[in-house]
Amino acid sequence: MAISKPFMAARRFSATAGDGTGVGVAYNILATATTNDAGVAATAFPTEPAYYNLYINGLIQTADTSTVTTTAITIPGGDALDDGTPIIIEFVVN
């Protein structure tokens, strides 16, 4: 029988599209360019989250919209967004 972890929590990080770098499929936002729930600069995204959600301008995005590592989130085509567009990355951890 698999072990079920009883605790789930969320870690949220915010930025704007203007915080990203690169173009086309190489557009990404570094974890260090985001702020965390405490309102301070983040150093890294969580390792091994249960899953994550990406919100662009308050709208949840489908899974094919991005990929994430502990150092950055890649959003192909994100460079076409207005620089002021809010980006929220929510990690669910257990």
> 18: pLDDT confidence band, cut at 50, 70 and 90?
very high
Instruction: Note whether 45 and 69 are within 8 A (CB).
Output: yes
Residue 92: enclosing H or E segment and its boundaries? strand 86-93
Q: How far apart are CA 48 and CA 13, in angstroms?
A: 16
User: What are the residues whose beta carbons fall under 8 Å from the beta carbon of 21, sequence distance 6 or more?
Assistant: 27, 28, 29, 30
DSSP category for residue 38 = T
Q: From residue 83, give the alpha-carbon distance in Å to each of 43, 79, 86.
A: 22, 8, 8
Structure tokens at 93: 């951890």
Q: Is it the case that residue 7 has pLDDT exceeding 90?
A: no
The pLDDT tens digits for 32-88 are: 999 999 999 999 999 999 999 999 999 999 999 999 999 999 999 999 999 999 999
